[in-house]
Amino acid sequence: MHTLTRDRRSYEDAPDTLDVFTRLAALPEGPERRAVREELVRVWLPMAERIARRFRSRGESLEDLCQVAALGLVKAIDGYDVERGAFESYAIPTITGEVKRHFRDYMWTLHVPRRVQELRNTVRIARRNLQAAGSSEPTVAQLAEETGLSQENVKAGLEALGSFKALSLDAELAGPDGGFALSETVGAPDTALDIVLDREAVKPLLRHLSQRERRILYLRFFHDMTQSQIAKELGLSQMHVSRLISTSCSRIREQATRELPTRTHGEKARLKV
């Protein structure tokens, strides 16, 4: 096995691996080539881990970042051509790009266009620099001056800062009367919307019923009167009222499902209830 040596090059503690890469390129697929490749990964891994540590304050664990950087290192080793110059000049942007791609593809809870992600990063760095210079919370105008962006783009970048991670529905928010959970601000489905189409569909069909049948259905379904109350109101027997309700509803359901073939299966099922 070739012994790797170290000398001072363009990257701190960069190992001298030019001869090893030349050897790797000449080897066919097999155990010897895999062993040389693994040795290159081992000696260059500290550089990949140093790159990973640059991103450790962005919400991802350092262990996961090092794994992503290691994958970027393997990609750099496989794609490197000794004619391109020093390995590190090719590997550093390759590894850095892999880590950034990890954030773009897997760390954003909400989908944000790449342009807005770039605005976010520009605004984030500018805000950090201004805060380090003594500004407690830079204004939009200050950030625009610092970045050279328009205030509209700065606002888009600031909004994107809140899209990197989504709040849990159990998150506590501050309010004038004390704290409350985010879930309390989320609306619930309006079940009445499910029957809007059904009501509109049966309206013209109701006109084909007799006046007495329409009256009975109106009292039953809009006044919530019982069959006994309706019978007393109209001077009929409760059994007769029950039969009229049943036959009227059956007729309307049959006509509605027959005349509206484009309805979905779910809508037809509701009409049959």
Q: What is the pLDDT of residues 122-139, one digit of tens each?
A: 888 888 888 887 767 888
Q: Where are the beta strands (DSSP E) in the chain?
A: 5-6, 15-16, 172-173, 180-181
To 5 degrees, how large is the angle CA 104–CA 61–CA 96? Answer: 45
Non-local (6+) Cβ contacts of 29 within 8 A are: none
Is residue 9 scored above 70 in pLDDT? no
Tokens of 145: 């001056």
Q: Does domain 5-107 have CATH number 1.10.1740.10?
A: yes
- By percentage, how much of the chain surpasses pLDDT 90? 24
Strand pairing category for 5-6 and 172-173: unpaired
Q: Can you give the pLDDT at residue 36?
A: 92
Where do the domains of the chain lie? 5-107, 114-185, 191-272
How many CB atoms are located within 10 Å of the residue 123 CB? 26
Q: What is the pTM of this model?
A: 0.42
Multiple choice CATH, 191-272, 3.30.70.20, 1.25.40.10, 3.90.550.10, 1.10.10.10: 1.10.10.10
Strand pairing category for 180-181 and 172-173: antiparallel
DSSP 106: I
Question: Mean pLDDT over residues 111-132, rounded?
Answer: 78
Is residue 228 scored above 90 in pLDDT? yes
Q: What is the pLDDT of residues 40-90, one digit of tens each?
A: 999 999 999 999 988 876 667 788 889 999 999 999 999 898 887 888 888
Non-local (6+) Cβ contacts of 198 within 8 A are: 256, 267, 270, 271
- Report the distance separating Cα 94 and Cα 88, nearest Å: 9
Asked if the domains at 5-107 and 114-185 fall in one CATH topology, the answer is no
Q: Does domain 114-185 have CATH number 1.10.10?
A: yes
- Report the distance separating Cα 186 and Cα 170, nearest Å: 11
Contact 100, 53 (CB under 8 A): no
Contact 83, 90 (CB under 8 A): no
